A and B are shown apart, each in its own frame.
Chain A
Amino acid sequence: MFTWEGGSLNEILSIKDVYAAYGDLTVLERINLEVKEGEIVLVLGSNGAGKTTLLRTISGILQPKKGQIYFLGRRIDGLPPYEIVNLGISYVPAEGGIFPKMSVMENLDMGTYVTKARKKKGERLHFVFQLFPILRERKDQLAGTLSGGERRMLSIARALMSLPKLLILDEPSFGLAPKVVSELFKAIEQINNEGTTILLVEQNARQALTVADRAYVLENGNVVLEGNSNEIANNPLVKKAYLGM
């Protein structure tokens, strides 16, 4: 039934020599990246380095030009986004990620559209409401009427409803007040502790490095640096470019 097509056994996600482009404009050049089961992996990089493109390629919105992507040993590049979600990867884009004309509760229902998540809906709802209590209060409100922070929480909660094995977050702290950002990072750690592997793209490198296990630095579509969070945080280049030291 199930064959292991590629990637090492403890790797949940394995990206091999991936190239991606928008039309003629190459954005990713031979990217290699692994995420191991249970990790929080951070991807750092300046604007235009190709971080979002990388996430869009993993989630199936964009097809890679070359290379392979393996998820739990199964090749997933070329699959449409809805199949990739069904396999267990949930992607939370930097903007959107909610249906503004549906209530909060309906948005969460959409999270359980993935059939295997429907049975555990009650359990899952309990978890996300404990993670983001404000959503319980707002559950009958239209998602479009939520504040920026609440929307972000809803989009993460919706992704969690699908029971992902790998949660991909694109700039979760972008545009949010510092207090909300701290809350969000606490939630990210909690999600990880509960057993979900996380791949995270962040501008806010300082805070992100404290929660991440390992990190990659992307520049001009290439991985220029990788290592565990401590190494990366102490790297002089990273200190200068991303930590402002």
Chain B
Amino acid sequence: MLELIIDGITFGLLLSLLGVGITLIFGLGEILNLAHGEFAVICAMLALIFMERGVNTLLSIILGLLITGLIGLALERSLISLVYRARGETRILLGIFITFGLSLAIHSYLVNTIPKAFFSVKLPFEAIRIGGLIIRPSTLLSAVISVLALVLLEVFLKKTYTGKAIRAIAQDEMDAQLCGVNPAPLRTLVFILGAVMAGLAGILYGLIATVAVIIGVDFTLLALIVAIVGGVRSIYGNILSGVILGIVHTIASFFLGAYLSLVILLSVTIIIILTRPEGILGEKG
């Protein structure tokens, strides 16, 4: 049981990485990125391609993350920046439809070109035993890297001028402009950051399980749930909800099977949307 909880936390932290990206991108540009999970798959597949060409694993992963960031940049400058031209409700709707179309296109492209590609990373270490507890080093590494990435993000948002400006835009874009903040480049930066963090989540998922090309949609959905449950504008909320959902999902999958587990998670999301649309932590945080 304790092992399940550890697995759950590890998976949950990974979901937080995805959810935080959705939250940041929505906070700055009001775009609900329905293609977010595809970045995780793209990054894992890129790393896989390099690995198959004989490139060192770590280098492949770094290259994968870099290229995912570049893809994020290209998409933001081309498609997403067109969406920013619209205002208010139209922008939100456009964002939903455009990223929906994008996710469909990426998903279909990957499923058609490399249907049998599977990405996973095996570590050359033995499992660690603490008392009766067996911890896989890959689980441990995945959790540590997730935490590290989330801490770095937090430091960036809290301590740097750029990070503060990002938070300022999320609160009131016009007011941020009156402080001298130009929102456009920061929106681009956040989109790239979101893509890379999703990419990292994909890589880390390869440590604890296997990334298949079809999994992008599930990632998107889980990330959306994390973002919604955590409150669409709160980062702490995202981390907390990610971990809780990770534990619930892992335990429920173990005892009830994957189908029912997802149904339970989604039902919980629906209930949360209907009872507390601002998320479990409210608007604070």
Contact = CB atoms under 8 A, between A and B. Distances in A.
B222 interface: no
A81 B175 CA distance: 9
**SS class, residues of chain B in contact with chain A:** helix
Contact of B178 (A90, A101, A102, A109): A90
A82 B172 contact: no
A99 B168 contact: yes
A86 B180 contact: yes
A170 B164 CA distance: 25
A197 to B, nearest CB: 18
B168 A81 contact: no
B176 to A, nearest CB: 8
Contacts of A118: 161
B108 interface: no
A106 B284 CA distance: 16
Contacts of A162: 179-180
B178 A85 contact: yes
B177 A80 contact: yes
B164 A82 contact: no
Nearest to A168: B178
Contact of A101 (B165, B171, B181): B171
B256 interface: no
Contacts of A81: 174, 177-178
Nearest to B283: A101
B182 interface: yes
A113 interface: yes
Given A86-B180, A102-B167, A113-B165, A97 B175 contact: yes
Nearest to B170: A101
Contact of A114 (B164, B168, B175, B180): B180
Interface string A57-95: 001110000000000000000001111011000110100
Contact of B175 (A86, A96, A109): A96
Nearest to A155: B175
12 contacts: A61-B178, A82-B177, A82-B179, A93-B175, A98-B175, A99-B168, A99-B172, A101-B171, A101-B283, A102-B164, A110-B164, A111-B179
Interface of A: 59-61, 80-83, 85-86, 90-91, 93, 96-102, 106, 109-111, 113-114, 118, 158-159, 162
Interface of B: 161, 164-165, 167-168, 171-172, 174-183, 283-284
Given A82-B183, A113-B161, 16 more contacts: A61-B177, A81-B174, A81-B177, A82-B182, A91-B178, A93-B175, A93-B178, A96-B175, A97-B175, A99-B167, A100-B171, A101-B167, A101-B283, A102-B168, A110-B165, A118-B161
